[in-house]
């Protein structure tokens, strides 16, 4: 299987990732997507994309950051594959790239949050060596 993995930088590259992101984040509006990504890029956010047969099949939104708790880490905000393209190794290929990037960037670890019901994703994360080690809590503001 040949595919291309790249950082989406141009407006066209970023916008071409929207269909994959929209499956993971259905609340996103396509017209707001590019401005949102550009704002997040100012906070070190990047999009890693996997193209196969001229179509973006899988994406990962990530950032390099530091925490008192963990030191320098690569944090994965988003990881998604088109529903019809799962179980073909695309998400795993992105995780492999992210692990290598984290190591070469001097990170101590990779972190991500995942929904309780995303069992298929959990199997992939555990297969790659991730461990469940905390609960993420949120307080919604009105």
Q: Residue 135 domain-assigned?
A: no
pLDDT in tens, 16-26: 999 999 999 99
Q: How many domains does the chain have?
A: 1
* Domain assignment of residue 55, yes or no: yes
Structural domain including 94 reads 4-127
Let me know if residue 138 belongs to a domain: no
pLDDT at 114 over 90: no
Q: Does any domain span residue 28?
A: yes
- Window from 78-82, 115-119, 136-140 with minimum mean pLDDT: 115-119
The 3-state secondary structure of the chain reads: CCCEEEECCCHHHHHHCHHHHHHHCCCCCHHHHHHHHHHHHCCCCEEEEEEECCEEEEEEEEEEEEECCCEEEEEEEEEEECHHHCCCCHHHHHHHHHHHHHHHCCCCEEEECCCCCCHHHHHHHHHCCCCCCCCCCCCCCC
Predicted pLDDT of residue 59: 98
pLDDT 10s digits, 49-65: 999 999 999 999 999 99
- What CATH number did the domain enclosing 69 receive? 3.40.630.30
Question: 140 lies in a domain?
Answer: no
pLDDT band for 141, please (50, 70, 90 cuts). Answer: confident
């Amino acid at each position: 299987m040949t595919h291309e993995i790249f950082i989406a930088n141009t407006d066209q590259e970023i916008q071409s990732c929207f269909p994959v992101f929209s499956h993971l984040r259905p609340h996103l509006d396509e017209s707001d997507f590019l401005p949102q990504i550009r704002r997040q890029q100012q906070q070190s956010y990047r999009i890693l994309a996997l193209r196969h047969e001229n179509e973006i099949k899988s994406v990962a939104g990530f950032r390099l950051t530091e925490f008192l708790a963990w030191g320098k880490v690569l944090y994965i905000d988003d990881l998604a594959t088109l529903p019809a393209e799962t179980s073909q190794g695309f998400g795993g290929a992105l995780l492999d790239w992210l692990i290598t990037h984290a190591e070469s960037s001097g990170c101590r670890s990779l972190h991500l949050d995942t929904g309780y019901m995303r069992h298929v994703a959990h199997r992939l994360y555990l297969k790659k060596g991730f461990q469940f080690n905390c609960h993420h809590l949120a307080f919604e503001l009105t």
